[in-house]
Structure 1
Amino acid sequence: MIANKRITMYVLILMKENVSMGVFRRSDGNILELSRDELVAIFEAARGHPAQLLIRILWETGMQVREAVALTVGDVDTVHRKIRIVNTREACLRRGEHRSNGKRGKPERDIALPSVLYYPLCRAVHGRCTDEFLFFSRDPYCPFNARTIEILVRQLGRRLRIDGLTASAFRDTFILHNLRNGTSRAPLQRHLGFLNRQPFKRYESYLGRGTLNADQMALSLEMRA
């Protein structure tokens, strides 16, 4: 695994200038923002668990747990450095669910493979069949249950005394980091699979500012560090 010093802050789009992280706020309502030190501590606390890398992917990409557990080896394209996230219906079928609980389905999308995850993922997929699940406990053709990951994260939170830690905190932290550093909402929306920009409102409220400038200068997703 990557040493502590290699753990970096999940930057979706690298800005041309160094941008301040702004005033760090701990939590607000159902949003929980994690610090760099807390992320490192969580990663280390999960050492030895087969879902350790999965947990890191959650904060490095902003992916949802149910998307991460549905990933197969074939979804990781190390040549073009991208990760495929299948549509909601396909993800449900992969997880053994026969319906999506009435939720609006998300279309399939590709996201950039973060450079900090490149070698860990290369090792994770090396020599494996493309239809095997990327993360599993015993059987590579049987994925983790999303609830299992949620329970693990809560256990790590109690062990590290991080009040209210859930898997959604990783996504919250990823989104807030990008909004603070000037990432435009349009590419961020595509990356996260949001169907519209409504979900950003609660994060903007948390940051204490109004509507962000959708045209703010940022590099493309393909040029991330």
Structure 2
Amino acid sequence: MSEPLFPHEVIPAVPQGPLHLVEPEMFVHLLRVCQLPGSPGGHHAGLTARNRAILWLLWETGMQVSELCHLRLADVDRAGGTVTVQGKRGPLRTFSLSPDGKRALGAYLDQARLTPAWEPAVPEAQDRLLLTERRRPLIKSSLTGLFQRMSRRAGFTRMPICPSMLRDTYAIRFLQAGGTLAALQQQLGIADRVSVKRYEHFCEQQRQV
């Protein structure tokens, strides 16, 4: 699996509390448990592609759950390999996806979202990127349930994986790759600098170990 590349101008908001990061091997395991039984090209194949796309989007952008759920088809630039996010405040943030991320998102579009079988069931889902199994807009509770099921299948029962952990992981990896705190704040779409300082503090602690 190739290492995702981080853009230099963009990132997401941060939940408080201790940081629990998702290691690369844990992420790979989550990708594997996305595989659902069923014949190739069947409904389960579409759900598998959707779940992997969700994981890659969170892993490579660190966007908030609300931002993920409100992504539109028009926010994806397949030719450029980017995804654009509009938060509650601040400018648009554009994220470049790695080759693996682009493949995962493309597979979801081609195998599920843009096929007749995934025709939206309600008008408000027409332009949404991510749909539920019932072809309705993905919402926070749907995503929470999905991560709970994936965590159980992956055997992460003592500390289930949640989207905020992928967001925290993105922030730490960004700083470790040489990104500045100001750039991280912009990419996370956070107005308060104090909210991103804890990532810097975490990296400093790691360097002292």
Q: Does the TM-score normalized on the shorter chain lie above 0.5?
A: yes
Checking the alignment, whether the CA contact within 8 Å between 2:5 and 2:97 is kept in structure 1 is no
- Does the aligned pair in 2 maintain the 1:60–1:174 contact within 8 Å? yes
Question: Retained in 1: the 8 A contact 2:78–2:106?
Answer: yes
Query: What one-letter code is carried by the residue in structure 2 that aligns with 1:43?
Result: L
Amino acid of the residue matched to residue 196 of structure 1? D
User: Could you tell me which of 116, 128, 133 is aligned with 2:100?
Assistant: 116
**Inter-CA distance 80–52: structure 2 relative to 1 (3 Å threshold):** closer
Question: Once the 2 structures are TM-superposed, how far is the Cα of residue 106 of structure 1 from its aligned partner?
Answer: 4.5
Correspondence 1:16-55 to 2 at 5 A:
29-48=17-36, 49=47, 50-55=50-55
State the number of aligned residues: 174
| Structure with greater proportional helix content | 2
Residue deviations 1:42-73, cap 9 Å, x none? Answer: 11112233433112211121112221111121
1:1-225 equivalences under 5 Å are 6=1, 8-13=2-7, 29-48=17-36, 49=47, 50-88=50-88, 105-125=89-109, 128=114, 131-138=126-133, 140=135, 142-162=136-156, 163-164=158-159, 165-209=161-205
Change (3 A) 1:201 1:159: same
Alignment gaps of 5+ in structure 2: 9-16, 37-46, 120-124
TM-score, normalisation: structure 1: 0.65
Percent of matched pairs sharing the same residue: 23
Per-residue deviation at 1:197?
A: 2.3
For residues 111-143 of structure 1, the C-alpha deviation after alignment (integer angstroms, 9 at most, x for no partner) is: 323333223333444594995321112455x21
Contact 2:60 2:97 in 1 (8 A): no
Gap runs ≥5 in structure 1? 1-5, 15-28, 89-104, 211-225
